[in-house]
Amino acid sequence: MEDSKFEIGGIYYGSLSCAHGCFRVRVTKRTEKSVWFEHEDHPDMYKPKRAKIHNWTCGEAAKFHGWYVSADGKDNSFDMLTV
């Protein structure tokens, strides 16, 4: 299995376990250690921001305004009715 990496222009999902939902972010810039995210749905509420990349065994992850974003591109939210 290849590690997932953030790519410029890619759309990823941010999640927060207590919020039970997710949102889409787009990568606008990237360096070896950082990635810049822009909120896809509410750019007026969440300003673009730089985040430090954390490398895990399954790929890269970062935090955008306190929300967890994984480079695996999966929607990490969950429905409370299915838990």
pLDDT digits (tens, 9 = 90+) for 18-62: 656 678 899 999 999 999 999 998 888 889 999 999 998 778 999
pTM: 0.78
* Domain spans of the chain, in order of start: 11-70
C-beta separation of 65 from 46 below 8 A: yes
Mean pLDDT for the stretch of residues 9-19:
80
Q: Alpha-carbon distance 70 to 75, whole Å?
A: 9
pLDDT band at 82 (very low <50, low <70, confident <90, very high): very low
Say what the pLDDT of residue 11 is.
Answer: 92
Q: What are residue 36's DSSP bridge partners?
A: 29, 50
- Residue 50's Cβ-side half-sphere holds a number of Cα atoms within 13 Å equal to 7
